[in-house]
Chain A
Amino acid sequence: MSSAMIEARDIAIGWTREDLLLEHASFEIRRGEIFGILGRSACGKSTLLRALIGLEPIRAGTIAIAGVGAPRLGSQKPVFGVMFQQGALFGSMTLGENLALPLERWTDLPRDAIRAVVRAKLGLVGLAGSEATRPANLSGGMRKRAAIARALALEPALVFLDEPSSGLDPITSAEIDRLIATLAHTLDLTVVLVTHELGSITAIVDRCILLDRESRSILAHGAPRDLMASTEQRVQHFFGRVPEAA
């Protein structure tokens, strides 16, 4: 089995072929690692994530997940779980119903077993006993936890997380980071993480790519420690939090 969970070869992404956010980008995400997609706001991090998932078209190149092409969304059992930036929990459903939805769609588990799995998954992310709670009644951190639990509902080996710790206080943010690291390690997950939180990058990311808005390319890739030691000025500016004009 190949060690690569995702292989992107010479891809281009953007709103149109003329207005690209990223071009000629190639990278590989290995099985079992926490891989960070980093960069400043509006550099195309979330768009790249959506392209990897199949929600945005790629304008050039190829993406292979687990050795096969991008999956057909909606028509087959998902091979990955996704946590969207705002959680994207269904507001008309309780947390229990949110988690039960993919299980009802893609497994033949009876209802009592689904209830058991939902309860356990919510317990896993620290939301035990919240089955009947509506997303509107949750704090930002709880909503992110619930979204992570839903992303894990179908036991994917690959999980995409879009800015899981943004907009949270430092302690909650650190708790989410620790949760991601624990889940990734214990459940042997490959995690693709979009973030610009330096704390998250240094705490849990194994390898990462840094996207650059101006050159529409991958500015640097490797372990966060290596990127921090880079002599490239724009990489230093990102990790040193130096404003562009400085």
Chain B
Amino acid sequence: MKLTQISVFLENRKGRLYDVCSLLGKNNINIRALTIAETESFGVLRIVVDKSDLAVKTLKANGFVANLTDVIAVEVDDKPGGLAGILKIFADSDINVEYMYGFVEKFSDNALLVFRFEDTDKAQKILTDKGLKVVTRKEIEGL
């Protein structure tokens, strides 16, 4: 199942990341996973949150530049070679990973990873076919 990732443009200014996090906190929105893509002069914050609709509305209302992207969160065996195993499946199925990052927490013994695929639908189908556990929207909301 696809999840919604929110990308936020962050200009190179002190306290800008704090501004985003504190705004989400005040609105009782919980960040489940995050990563920052940075360049020398700006950054893009990528987050998966429990209440994505509210988060986007709040961010935009407060002047942030935000955009939505489909991602998939996959459970991976938390042991050596776990990630390699799943990447092999993608490689064998000719599925291109654009970027990935880890969850802040996990809700079983498995690790949770967020993937952004070049072709999300195709990736989703392979994951289902192979019987891999993906995180549902409901699970994210109640995590």
Q: Do A and B bind?
A: no
* A interface residues with partner B (beta carbon < 8 Å): none
